[in-house]
Amino acid sequence: KQEVTQIPAALSVPEGENLVLNCSFTDSAIYNLQWFRQDPGKGLTSLLLIQSSQREQTSGRLNASLDKSSGRSTLYIAASQPGDSATYLCAVRTDSWGKLQFGAGTQVVVTP
């Protein structure tokens, strides 16, 4: 069974520092990997999707890499801001029906 792990569970950084969030998965047979942001009490917002054939994907200050063979993805957020404070979740798509297996998330606090 696919297992997805996000370490650390929480981190705090001062404003302006770059954020590095890690996601690992046990089975490399994935269709894609998606990163989400979740604010307290809210739904999930899709940030980036990396297809299984891609190595990285970028959107503004966000960059996500994928190393399928080693079962790892990293989300980089450049020049963090207090508004980046949220929980970040990664999820891998495991089959053609679209089932996602989620990590437990990393809670990020960016201090002014």
Partner 1 sequence: DAGITQSPRHKVTETGTPVTLRCHQTENHRYMYWYRQDPGHGLRLIHYSYGVKDTDKGEVSDGYSVSRSKTEDFLLTLESATSSQTSVYFCAISESKNGGYNQETQYFGPGTRLLVL
Binding site for partner 1 (CB under 8 A): 31-32, 34, 36, 42-46, 49, 51-53, 89, 91, 93, 96-100, 102-105
17 versus 42: smaller Cβ distance to partner 1 = 42
Judged by CB, which is closer to partner 1: 77, or 100?
Answer: 100
What are 11's strand-pairing partners?
108
Q: Please, what is the minimum distance in Å from the beta carbon of residue 18 to partner 1?
A: 25
φ/ψ region of 42 (left if φ > 0, alpha if ψ in -120 to 50, else beta) reads beta
- CB closer to partner 1, 31 vs 76: 31
Beta bridge partners of 91: 34, 102
CA distance 93 to 62: 20
CB of 14 to partner 1, least distance (A): 27
Q: How far apart are CA 91 and CA 41, in angstroms?
A: 19
